[in-house]
Amino acid sequence: MNTFNIQKVKYIALTCLVLLLVQIFLGAWTSTNYASLACPDFPTCQGSFSPDMDFKNGFNLNQEVGPNYFTGC
C-alpha cells in the first residue's frame, strides 16, 4: 500500500505559504516606494550583481512622504 506522511506535507505547505506571503509583502513594498523600475536589467541591477543599496532608508517606516505622482492627472 502506498502511504505518505501528512506531517511532512503540512510542513511543506506551511513553508510555501510563508514564502508566498513574503513575496507578496516585498512586491507591495516595491510598489509603494515607486521602485519597480529601479532595476530594469534582470538578473543584474544597473549592470552590477551587487549594486549600492541603502537598507536603512529603504525599510524606514517613519520616512517622510515623497512626491505625490497622482496630482495633475
**What domain range is 1 assigned to?**
1-35
Print pLDDT tens along the chain (73 aa): 567 788 889 999 999 999 999 999 988 888 877 777 777 787 888 888 888 877 777 777 776 666 666 665 5
- Report how many domains make up the chain: 1
Helix (H, G, I), strand (E, B) or coil at 22: helix
Cβ-contact 28, 35 below 8 angstroms? no
Maximal C-alpha separation, the chain: 68
Q: Which three cell numbers stand for residue 63?
A: 520616512
Domain-located, residue 5 = yes
- Asked if the structure places residue 30 within a domain, the reply is yes
Distances (CA, A) of 31 to 20, 28, 45, 49, 56: 17, 5, 17, 22, 18
Instruction: State the alpha helices, DSSP H only, in 1-73.
Output: 6-32, 55-58
Q: Residue 47: inside a domain, yes or no?
A: no
| Residue 65 domain-assigned (yes or no) | no
Is the full-model pTM beyond 0.85? no
